[in-house]
Structure 1
Amino acid sequence: MSVAIENFVKAIYKNDIQDNNDTKPGNIAKKLGISNAAATDMAKKLATKDLLHYEKYQALQLTEKGTKMALNVVRKHRLWEALLFKMFDMSLHEIHREAELLEHETSDFLANKISEYLGNPKFDPHGDPIPNADGEITTEDISIALSQSKEGKTYIISRLMSDDKEFFDFCAQNGLKYGNTITITKQFSKNKMTQISINNNTILLNEDFTNIIYVNEI
């Protein structure tokens, strides 16, 4: 399949499963940086290939075949992120950028070799689950957004759901990374801000950040 097709089904999957965003062609177009007309044309094309269900004015839904393709691309992307992070200590933004290119040039054979080399990890450095070779996510997600955390509780950062460079730079500078421990010192519910303590430092975060940082309570 072409890069465009793989990116299209992956965008639908991520909007639907991860981001809980609308999967109408216009939203997929925005995510991919293409025109609405181009997204609609692609959706109609992929419907004929049994990769998705298309109905005018309705959200797009992947078929079983389309979901399997999306998960295969996601698996390769996240395995590359894990490998690049381990081998070169690249930033979270850098590994995402490079994985976007490498995922389309990776055979199933190489993906399995990378997974084996890494010890078959279940999560990438962002905390996102890595599908197995059968296209299954075997981990249970019990994390919550930082904005929903409770004052006085201690949590472990479980996921950083973004691809924005400035966000990752901020996280790196302040020790906000997958697996690190934070304590909620104050929830400013009216102003939608969260004050946390990490590594003996106090940080105040607005909801733009607290809605994309996910945590598990200790």
Structure 2
Amino acid sequence: MSIAIENFVKAIYKNDKHDINDTKPGNIAKKLGISNAAATDMAKKLATKDLLHYEKYQKLRLTKKGTKMALNVVRKHRLWEAFLFKMFDMSLHDIHKEAELLEHQTSDLLAEKISEYLGHPKFDPHGDPIPNANGEITTEDTSISLSKAKEGKTYIISRLMSDDKEFFDFCAQNGLKYGNTILVSKQFTKNKMTQITINTNTILLNEDFTNIIYINEN
């Protein structure tokens, strides 16, 4: 399959699972940086290949075949992120950018060799689950967004759901890293802001950040 097709089904999968935006063609177009017309044409084309279900004005839904393809691409992407992070200590933004290129050039055999070398990790450095060779995610997601955390409780950062360089730079500078512990000291519900303490530092975050930082109870 072409890179464009792999990116399209991956975008539908990720929007369906994680993003605030739904999977209508317009939102997929925005995610991929293409026109609405191009997204609609691609959706119609992939529907004929039994990769997704298309209905005018409705959300796009992946078929079993389409989901398997998306998970295969996601697996390769996240394995490369884990490999690059371990081997070269690259930033979270840089490993994502490089993995976007490498995922499409990686055979199933190489993906399995990378997984074996890394000890078959279940999560990438962002905290996202890595599907196994059968396209299955075997971990249970019990995380919540930081915006929904309770005051006075400590949590462990379980996921940083973004591909934005400024976001990752901010996280790196302030110790907001997968696996680190934070204390939620105050929720400013009216103003949609959250105050946290990490490594004795107090940080005030708005909902643009707290909606994409995921946590589990400590």
Deviations, residues 107-140 of structure 1 (Å, cap 9, x unaligned) = 0000000000000000000000000000000000
CA distance in structure 1 between the aligned counterparts of 2:42 and 2:129, rounded to whole angstroms? 28
Please tell me whether residue 142 in structure 1 is matched to residue 124 in structure 2: no
Q: Secondary structure at the match of 1:39?
A: helix
Which range moved further: 16-25 or 28-37?
16-25
Segments of 5+ residues of structure 2 without an aligned counterpart are none
CA distance in structure 1 between the aligned counterparts of 2:59 and 2:188, rounded to whole angstroms? 36
CA distance in structure 2 between the aligned counterparts of 1:56 and 1:203, rounded to whole angstroms? 45
Alpha-carbon distance, 1:165 to partner:
0.3
1:187 is aligned to: 187
Please tell me whether residue 158 in structure 1 is matched to residue 158 in structure 2: yes
Computed over aligned residues only, the root mean square deviation of the Cα atoms, in angstroms, reads: 0.7
Deviations, residues 139-163 of structure 1 (Å, cap 9, x unaligned) = 0000000010011000000000000
CA distance in structure 2 between the aligned counterparts of 1:51 and 1:205, rounded to whole angstroms? 39
Alpha-carbon distance, 1:215 to partner:
0.4
Runs of 4+ in structure 1 off by over 3 angstroms are: none
Alpha-carbon distance, 1:185 to partner:
1.0
TM-score by length of 2: 0.99
CA distance in structure 2 between the aligned counterparts of 1:176 and 1:58, rounded to whole angstroms? 37
Deviations, residues 80-118 of structure 1 (Å, cap 9, x unaligned) = 000000000000000000000000000000000000000
Which range moved further: 151-160 or 189-198?
189-198
Deviations, residues 153-178 of structure 1 (Å, cap 9, x unaligned) = 00000000000000000000000000
Alpha-carbon distance, 1:20 to partner:
4.9
Please tell me whether residue 74 in structure 1 is matched to residue 74 in structure 2: yes
1:40 is aligned to: 40
Which range moved further: 180-189 or 105-114?
180-189
1:208 is aligned to: 208
Alpha-carbon distance, 1:21 to partner:
2.6
CA distance in structure 1 between the aligned counterparts of 2:53 and 2:29, rounded to whole angstroms? 17
Written as runs of structure 1 = structure 2, the 5 A alignment for 1:44-123 is 44-123=44-123
Q: Secondary structure at the match of 1:68?
A: helix
Letter in 1 for 2:176: L
Which range moved further: 105-114 or 15-24?
15-24
Aligned-residue identity in percent? 88
1:15 is aligned to: 15
Alpha-carbon distance, 1:53 to partner:
0.7
CA distance in structure 2 between the aligned counterparts of 1:57 and 1:19, rounded to whole angstroms? 19
Give the total of aligned pairs: 218
Letter in 1 for 2:163: D
TM-score by length of 1: 0.99
Alpha-carbon distance, 1:17 to partner:
1.5
CA distance in structure 2 between the aligned counterparts of 1:164 and 1:104, rounded to whole angstroms? 21
Letter in 1 for 2:105: E
